[in-house]
């Protein structure tokens, strides 16, 4: 339905307003579903059931948790920064919403076509780091600050191979436009042409979203909860919401860049709407992220840095050079 509404809405403004409303509804729902799914996947990997009490198979558990979070008092530590402390949760959430602007959910289902769509996503994703640093610094708490500093170092380290891996795809399509990147994959997905870039992209995306095994900024067993130690109630909820929406975005970008976006596998499934394929691929990738989390132990900070600077960056550079050379020769 949204597809028809969006395409029939000729004016750009109307399209953006409808898109934003849909995104504002979709983002929390997606987060609710993912939190529930995360707990179920964790439960089943550990041979237990996960939440089962509230609603069928614990489906209402996250909603109840959300209501509980809403009811909690918003505590501000006595010597915290009065302006930056409440600002950080808002800062962390805004860029995540903006990334939805250029994601191609279907052939016509893009809120705003942009020639620099991919750049926009990467540009705004760095805002999250700023928000985490703001939150950690403004909390006036050593653990929060340590978590925030770790987050910045980690994001700087992993942003480079992430961009280099995405560049390999951009080299092949010669465009930053996400819809064009998807259209270039109507025969073969880029994961088959660029497997190394795909792998590097996904590993770096895991690190960028601060997910295990790269959940160094949170590291609840070492840093209490890291950058959001001092946040309570819905302020903490916003960090949580942003994390899960961010996960959706990186998986959606991975699906767009490497898994053919809205295309069905190998040209099959043409009768199924593109948005279904797109969401299916995104959620499969999200499941893989969860699978990572419940498989691998957290890496140490020096291992994390070594892995990025000594393995990911050289590998992605080599991959980029080889891609450029092959494209030049062909």
Q: What residues line the site for another protein (CB under 8 A)?
A: 41, 43-49, 52, 291-292, 294-296, 310-311
Of 171 and 294, which CB lies nearer to another protein in the complex structure?
Answer: 294
Nearest residue (CB) to another protein, 127 versus 294: 294
Q: Largest Cα–Cα distance in the chain? A: 64
Tell the smallest beta-carbon distance from residue 297 to another protein (Å). Answer: 9
Report the C-alpha gap between 47 and 42 in whole angstroms: 9
Q: Which is nearer to another protein, 28 or 43 (CB)?
A: 43
Q: Can you spell out the DSSP letters for 125-161?
A: HHHHHHHHHHHHHHTT-HHHHHHHHHHHHHHHHHHHH
- Shortest Å distance, C-beta 37 to another protein: 12
- Token pair listed for 204: 């770096």
User: Does residue 254 contact residue 285 with C-beta atoms inside 8 Å?
Assistant: yes
Query: For another protein, which is the closer residue by CB, 51 or 217?
Result: 51
Residue 211 CB partners (closer than 8 Å, separation 6+): 247, 289, 292, 293
Closest to another protein by CB, 26 vs 294, is 294
Closest distance between another protein and the C-beta of residue 147, in Å? 25
Closer Cβ to another protein, 281 or 293, answer by number: 293
Residue whose C-alpha is closest to residue 170's, from 118, 107, 103, 106? 118
CB of 60 to another protein, least distance (A): 17
d(C-alpha 287, C-alpha 57), whole Å: 18
Question: Which is nearest to 89 in space by CA: 207, 197, 243?
Answer: 243
- Rounded to a whole number of angstroms, the minimum distance from the CB of residue 78 to another protein is 38
41 or 145: whose CB is closer to another protein? 41
User: Exposed/middle/buried for 68, CB within 10 Å: 0-12, 13-18, 19+?
Assistant: exposed
Task: Find the shortest distance in angstroms from Cβ 288 to another protein.
Answer: 9
Task: State in angstroms the smallest separation of the CB of 294 from another protein.
Answer: 6
With CA atoms as reference, report the closest residue to 179 among 287, 100, 66, 103.
103
């Amino acid at each position: 339905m949204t597809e028809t509404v969006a395409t029939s809405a000729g004016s750009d403004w109307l399209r953006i307003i409808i898109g934003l409303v849909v995104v504002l509804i979709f983002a929390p729902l997606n987060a609710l579903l993912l939190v529930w799914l995360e707990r179920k996947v964790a439960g089943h990997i550990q041979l237990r059931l996960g939440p089962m009490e509230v609603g069928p198979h614990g489906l209402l558990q996250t909603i109840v948790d959300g209501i509980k979070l809403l009811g909690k008092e918003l505590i501000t530590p006595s010597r915290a920064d009065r302006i930056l402390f409440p600002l950080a949760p808002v800062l962390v959430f805004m860029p995540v919403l903006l990334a939805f602007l250029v994601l191609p959910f279907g052939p016509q289902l893009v809120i705003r076509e942009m020639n620099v769509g991919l750049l926009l996503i990467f540009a705004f994703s760095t805002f999250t780091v700023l928000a985490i640093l703001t939150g950690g610094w403004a909390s006036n708490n050593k653990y929060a600050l340590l978590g925030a500093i770790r987050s910045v170092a980690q994001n700087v380290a992993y942003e480079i191979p992430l961009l280099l891996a995405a560049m390999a795809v951009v080299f092949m399509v010669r465009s930053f436009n996400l819809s064009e990147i998807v259209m270039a994959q109507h025969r073969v997905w880029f994961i088959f042409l660029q497997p190394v870039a795909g792998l590097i992209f996904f590993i770096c995306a895991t690190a960028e979203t601060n997910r295990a095994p790269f959940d160094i900024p949170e590291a609840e067993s070492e840093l209490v909860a890291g950058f959001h130690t001092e946040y309570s109630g819905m302020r903490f909820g916003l960090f949580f919401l942003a994390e899960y929406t961010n996960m959706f975005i990186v998986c959606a970008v991975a699906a767009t860049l490497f898994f053919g976006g809205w295309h069905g596998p190998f040209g099959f499934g043409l009768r199924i709407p593109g948005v279904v394929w797109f969401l299916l691929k995104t959620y499969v990738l999200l499941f893989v992220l969860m699978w990572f989390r419940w498989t691998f132990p957290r890496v140490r900070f020096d291992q994390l840095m070594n892995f990025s600077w000594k393995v990911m960056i050289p590998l992605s550079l080599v991959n980029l050079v080889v891609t450029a050379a092959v494209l030049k020769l062909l």
